[in-house]
Amino acid sequence: MLWDLRNKERNEAAAAAAAVSDAGQLIPTKVLRKFLASLTSRESPVLMDLGPVVGSNVTFLGERLGCKIILEDLFADVERYPKGSETPLHEYLKTRLKHMPESVDGILCWNLFDFLDLPSAQVLASALTKILRTDGALLSFFATIGSTDARFSKYVILGDDSVRQRPYSTTGRKQNALPNRDIIRMFEGLKVAESFLLKNNVREFLFRKIPQTQ
Amino acid sequence: MWKRDEAVRQPAQPAVPTNEAAATAPAAAAQPVRQDTYRSQNARDVVNIGKSVVIKGELNGSEDLTIEGHVEGKIELRDHVLTIGPNGKIKAELFAKAVVVLGEVIGNVSATEKVDIRENGSVEGDITSPRVAIAEGAHFRGSVDMAQKAKQVSSGPRPAEVKSQPAPQPVMQQPQQAQKVG
């Protein structure tokens, strides 16, 4: 009887593990905790998420921070933007975010920049820098090597230290790997507060906006 | 003979669940199903606006409401639950205790308790509510303001204790070791 129960538990655990692996890749994160901590001290912070809408993230962030979350799914915009359009993507991105300067306390970019060409990445980075409040935080992931896997990902926050990366089907875009030098130059006006290279070859950066007087 | 009479009478009886209802309303026995539906709705205090109904203007109420039709303007059910059914198409500002969306909403949504966007539900507008649930497969475009909850917590009797409580975290694996870059 006890043996049967143990077997049942083992089978259930194996089934649960299989379900987890099907659901996406677990990615440990070092900077999410710091990103959240930087917002916790602020009263009713404003957070911008550039990724696709993930209901559990909204619940997690909202209940954790008591914040206003602006959901701007730029992945969808990038995917829908016609390739070979007369107006290049970076021109479109110049006017895409119509938020007031210094109006957002935190920005989650996920790995959006991996799917942008350098001019578009620069335009978006300067737009984000502009709308970020002084001492605000920006979190972004960058691949270390270019990849043919052109699928976008949803990042599901599991806790302060881990997220689940769930690819979803798209029309496909080349995934670039920006060098550190370009990343730091792109975000002029922000300083690199934390950066880590994870074992899965993802670089994660936490930027903070420095006061203009410095 | 007795058995035959019973067999004839049985189908003629109204299909209402209680004997009391059958005895007191001989006229209602003519439309037993409709009567039954009406009674069960009253019991739950829910009103339905059907698929073919189009309303333009302001809608106020003090009971739960389910909308399957089209509404443009403003809907206010301050202490009740507003449900936008799968066929509901709303272009309005919504104010309610709780809002459940299975259809389409264009406009801002405010709830004092919860906003729940179910699978295939769609909201384009800003949500203000202490609790928000967005299901997988739902469409949402706008912002979510859950600041009310934090305000409520901070105005509670022992804010220091509340603040010091660690946030609930799901069980997770330990992160991989990471190297610090440059």
Question: Who among B132, B174, B176 is closest to A62 (CB)?
Answer: B132
Pair type for strands A152-159 and A162-168: antiparallel
> Averaged over A103-111, what is the pLDDT?
94
Q: Does the pLDDT value for residue B151 go beyond 60?
A: no
DSSP secondary structure letter of residue A210: P
The pLDDT tens digits for A176-212 are 888 889 999 999 989 999 999 987 888 999 999 988 7
Residue to substitute from B113, B117, B143, interface A, most A β-carbons within 10 A:
B143
How far is CA A163 from its chain centroid?
10
pLDDT bin (cut points 50, 70, 90) of residue B25 is very low
Alpha carbon separation from B34 to B19, B30, B37 (Å, rounded): 17, 10, 5
Rounded Cα–Cα distance for residues B69 and B54 (Å):
6
**Which residues on chain B are in Cβ contact (under 8 Å) with A44?**
147, 150-151
DSSP secondary structure letter of residue A31: H
Question: Who among A55, A65, A180 is closest to B182 (CB)?
Answer: A180
> Averaged over A22-42, what is the pLDDT?
86
Alpha carbon separation from A174 to A11, A88, A90, A116, A177 (Å, rounded): 40, 16, 16, 8, 10
pLDDT at A117: 87
Q: Does the pLDDT value for residue B29 go beyond 70?
A: no
Q: Check B147 against A195: CB less than 8 A apart.
A: no
Q: Is the model's pTM score more than 0.90?
A: no
Q: Check B143 against A69: CB less than 8 A apart.
A: yes
Q: Check A55 against B175: CB less than 8 A apart.
A: no
Domain A25-209 part of CATH 3.40.50.150? yes
Mean pLDDT of chain B: 71
Q: Does the pLDDT value for residue B179 go beyond 60?
A: no
> Averaged over A120-145, what is the pLDDT?
93
Q: Per DSSP, which regions of chain A are E strands?
A: 25-28, 46-49, 68-71, 104-110, 132-143, 152-159, 162-168, 190-197, 202-209
Q: What number of other Cβ atoms are within 10 A of residue B6's Cβ?
A: 9
pLDDT bin (cut points 50, 70, 90) of residue B160 is very low
List the domain boundaries for chain A.
25-209
Query: Which of A88-92, A149-153, B19-23 has the highest mean predicted lDDT (pLDDT)?
Result: A88-92
Nearest-10 crossing angle of helices A118-131, A89-96: 10
Q: Check B177 against A199: CB less than 8 A apart.
A: yes
Q: How many residues does chain A have?
A: 214
ipTM surpasses 0.85: no
